[in-house]
Structure 1
Amino acid sequence: MKSFMYILLIHQHFLEDNAAGGSRWNEMARIWVENGHSVTVIAGDVHYMNGREGSKARKDFEIKVNEDNVQVIRCKLSRRYHRGFSGRLLAYFSFAFKAVYAGLRFAHSRYDWIIVTSPPLFVGLPGVLLSKWRHVPLVLEIRDLWPESAIETGVLKNKWLIGLSYRFEKYLYRQARWISVLTPAFRERLIGRNGVDPCKIAIIPNAADFRWSKAALRRASESGLREELGLKGKFVVIYVGAHGLANDLMQLVEAAALLRATNAHFLLIGDGMQKRMLIQEAASRQLTNISFLDPVPKERIFDYIVMADAGVAVLKRADIFKTIYSNKTFDYFSCKKPVLMVIDGVSRDLVEQARAGMFAEPENPADLARKVLIYMSDEALLRRHGENGYRFVHARFDRDKLAREFLKCIESQLEVTDKSAIFESKKVN
């Protein structure tokens, strides 16, 4: 592997230090820097789960080095991100154009690679433009299939925007030197429907962050969280993540209503557009076995997962969600918690392959309630599934190992490029 690389990452939702949420790229960047590489990130300043900006500064651009020695260039975005589709679209486009300016004005290094991670799809625009202007190869990561996800969840309805999004998606696939996807289903979709060359696609899935989970497991006996939250003696089913339209967390409210006469308690941690509605719905039903907490920083959230009895991953019923791995599943596994998987497709396959949880049919709260009761009545099964999941992700989905694999993949692409350049030079001479 090349001893030193300069990498520019364009990621609208790259987290602030100690912020809650999906930290895939915070961890990847940290590992790369620890291995001697230089990483610069162009990001927005609005958190994807709530309307509060991550940074207190209100400058158009803020440049600083985070706690992992990653340089982060933050672009000030519209505060209307969480006020419906129009506000979100405005934030997407404003980031795309500001990221171009930030890349030209503030990102000074001679980069070996530009990496763009989507969604949102429009983040590909600054990636393509900066790649062409700086003559740097482009890597495209697909964390979710856009625009399909937005269409199937009813977020994107405008036919003109749908057509534009599909054309732009295909254009990005052509421009990328290499494409990373998170699941085998994504790879099949890109090859079958979009005609992408299989040789330029690799699967680098999401993963478990064991540095956080192992510390939480060591602290488990002294955390006192159950007492603090009033959950002593309860069977706690935890959900960690966004409370948005796609998550359809009403399924958990419905399941809680069915289990109100038992010791089952649903604990939901996170934020999003539907959180207020969910709280009001639970209150209107006078449910005392479901509670809601604000987002918790990444290094602290693992204490809450370890405190729980089982984790739940849930999305609304949609064919597109059969292609994704639920990110939070890996966090649950890493904390030795079995997973109640309310998502069909590859996420279900993952849990069943690991023998580390149970599938519940999406949008069928009665089925979820039945699966909770099975765990409540069989402590040995609960413990066995938790241990199975831990061993499974430790062997196959360790963040540190996969971050290094990602680097090896892009380095191999760079070597191919260098050899091709030498070959062309010899032909000319």
Structure 2
Amino acid sequence: MNILYLHQYFATLSSSTSIRSFIFSKKLAESGHKVTVITTDAFMKQEKPYKMTNDVKYFHIEGIEILAIRSDYSNFLGKKARIMEFLKFMRKAEQVGKKIKKIDLIFATSTPLTIGIPAMRLSKKLSAPFVFEVRDLWPEAPIQMGYIKSKPLQYALRKIEKRIYKKAAHIICLSPGMADGVRSNGISDEKISVIPNLADLELFSDENVNQTLQDEIIKKWHLENQFVISHIGAMGEANGLQYLLDACERLEKQNVTDIKFLIVGSGKTKPLLVSKSEKQNLQNIIFEDMIEKKDVPTFLDLADITITSFLPKPILATNSPNKFFDALAAGKPIIVNSAGWTKDIVEKYKIGYYVDARNPQELADLLIELKNQKAMLRGLKMEIKTIAENEFSATKASTELLEILENVATEKGRK
């Protein structure tokens, strides 16, 4: 098949964000399919294009042809600037995509929801079916977060959402909760599949832990004989990381000095969090800058436990967060504070703990209880990795995706 892959924020190992689409693209290419990705260069800055034409950069990486449209996107953009980036990509992706010949199938992955618009238009122009992947329930997520308050706009976006689902040949969701959200739009079960976010065991192997870098981190932040809890990834409003600062404050008030929070990444809330931490003179919290994906195994390896944090909003309980599945792949126990699907996973397999996102003292108390149980937590590594491999591996997810895409192509006479 000749597959056109639409993802506004496609990224490789040189980036700091999710590489799900990169892994899927590689697996599709390895299976003999031709894959062309249309994306932006937002997370491709470290890669070297083999040519540039106007505002499009061309890359050929791991058998994947990547067309990256110039973008000014960053995690710090305001609402209006983000909307302009969405609209710009939506328009340009269609312009670039319609020039590609003999496409058999289109695979479009959100967010944002607007990715579905060029997918629908290109599906019609190229006479190719499209499969739509739901990574977050839009517009419900930004509505619950208070980003979209206009009732007419909410109505319009919900109408677009329903139209995308209706026009798609198949819909892939990253969690059961997301599948329920799609189903609530009148979509039949036969048209919906769940492929969770994936655990990349190949990346999170012991061979990819850089011991020299790890020693430097330990020395820099004086982590010897400390109990380390890590949060590695986005620091957006949805993550509710004030919760971690509140837990830190309570630990310091209890004179607990051997627990350290290692918060790695970037995002809109980071400057305020750093400022508050400095103002409160919190000694048990460390902020590291954004790191490349290839360095995440090293940072995760030095943690005793990880945390996946979100605000206590119902829509966020449906999330399938990257950092959660990275921790699984690394064999690390996980604390979650979202009463949804991730809570079900850690409790079902007994590989972590749930704490209430409204009660930071509960997190502080749990860490005090666990800080003398390092050996027990590290002893869970192989068990967690086995669960990751059996249930959430990149190989399993890629195989399921390939089967769906090939079935759609066969049904539409494109194979």
What range is the shorter-chain TM-score in?
over 0.9
Q: 2:297, 2:75 → 1: CA distance? A: 28
1:226 aligns with 2:221: no
1:266 aligns with 2:257: no
Q: Equivalent residues in 2 for 1:298-317 (5 A)? A: 298-317=293-312
> Equivalent of 1:6, from 2, 7, 12?
2
Please name the residue that 2:279 is paired with: 284
| Partner deviation per Cα, 1:195-247 (whole Å, 9 max, x = no partner) | 10111111111111111111457655984132244311211111011111111
Q: 1:209, 1:325 → 2: CA distance? A: 14
Q: 2:344, 2:392 → 1: CA distance? A: 15
Q: Which amino acid aligns with 1:206?
A: N
Q: 1:109, 1:223 → 2: CA distance? A: 47
Please name the residue that 1:88 is paired with: 82
Q: 2:385, 2:365 → 1: CA distance? A: 24
Match of 1:259, SS state, is helix
Please name the residue that 1:341 is paired with: 336
Contact persistence 1:16–1:54 (CA under 8 A): no
What TM-score results when the alignment is normalised by the length of structure 2? Answer: 0.93
Q: Equivalent residues in 2 for 1:75-114 (5 A)? A: 75-78=69-72, 82-105=76-99, 108-114=100-106
> Equivalent of 2:169, from 148, 165, 177?
177
Please name the residue that 1:392 is paired with: 387
Match of 1:210, SS state, is coil
Q: Which amino acid aligns with 1:121?
A: L
Contact persistence 1:62–1:73 (CA under 8 A): yes
Aligned-residue offset at 1:301: 1.0
Please name the residue that 1:426 is paired with: none
Contact persistence 1:18–1:299 (CA under 8 A): yes
Consecutive unaligned residues in structure 1, runs of 5 or more: 422-429
Q: 1:66, 1:304 → 2: CA distance? A: 29
Bigger drift between 343-352 and 65-74 goes to 65-74
Match of 1:43, SS state, is strand
Q: 1:95, 1:222 → 2: CA distance? A: 37
Match of 1:202, SS state, is strand
Contact persistence 1:20–1:295 (CA under 8 A): yes
Q: Which amino acid aligns with 2:239?
A: N
Aligned-residue offset at 1:87: 1.0
C-alpha spacing 1:126/1:391, structure 2 compared with 1 (3 Å): same
| Partner deviation per Cα, 1:291-314 (whole Å, 9 max, x = no partner) | 111111111111100111111100
Q: 1:220, 1:79 → 2: CA distance? A: 34
> Equivalent of 1:37, from 33, 52, 56?
33
Please name the residue that 2:241 is paired with: 249
Consecutive unaligned residues in structure 2, runs of 5 or more: none
C-alpha spacing 1:19/1:222, structure 2 compared with 1 (3 Å): closer
Q: Which amino acid aligns with 2:143?
A: I
1:327 aligns with 2:322: yes
1:46 aligns with 2:38: no
| Partner deviation per Cα, 1:94-117 (whole Å, 9 max, x = no partner) | 110011111123xx2412210111
C-alpha spacing 1:42/1:393, structure 2 compared with 1 (3 Å): same
Q: 1:288, 1:81 → 2: CA distance? A: 27
Please name the residue that 1:18 is paired with: 14
Q: Which amino acid aligns with 2:115?
A: V
C-alpha RMSD over aligned residues:
2.3
Please name the residue that 1:73 is paired with: 67
C-alpha spacing 1:220/1:330, structure 2 compared with 1 (3 Å): farther
Bigger drift between 69-78 and 210-219 goes to 210-219
Q: 2:22, 2:84 → 1: CA distance? A: 25
Q: Equivalent residues in 2 for 1:376-391 (5 A)? A: 376-391=371-386
> Equivalent of 2:202, from 171, 190, 211?
211
Q: Percent of counterpart pairs with the same letter?
A: 28
Please name the residue that 1:416 is paired with: 411
C-alpha spacing 1:121/1:104, structure 2 compared with 1 (3 Å): same
What TM-score results when the alignment is normalised by the length of structure 1? Answer: 0.90
Contact persistence 2:233–2:266 (CA under 8 A): yes
Match of 1:213, SS state, is coil
Please name the residue that 1:64 is paired with: 58
Bigger drift between 330-339 and 72-81 goes to 72-81
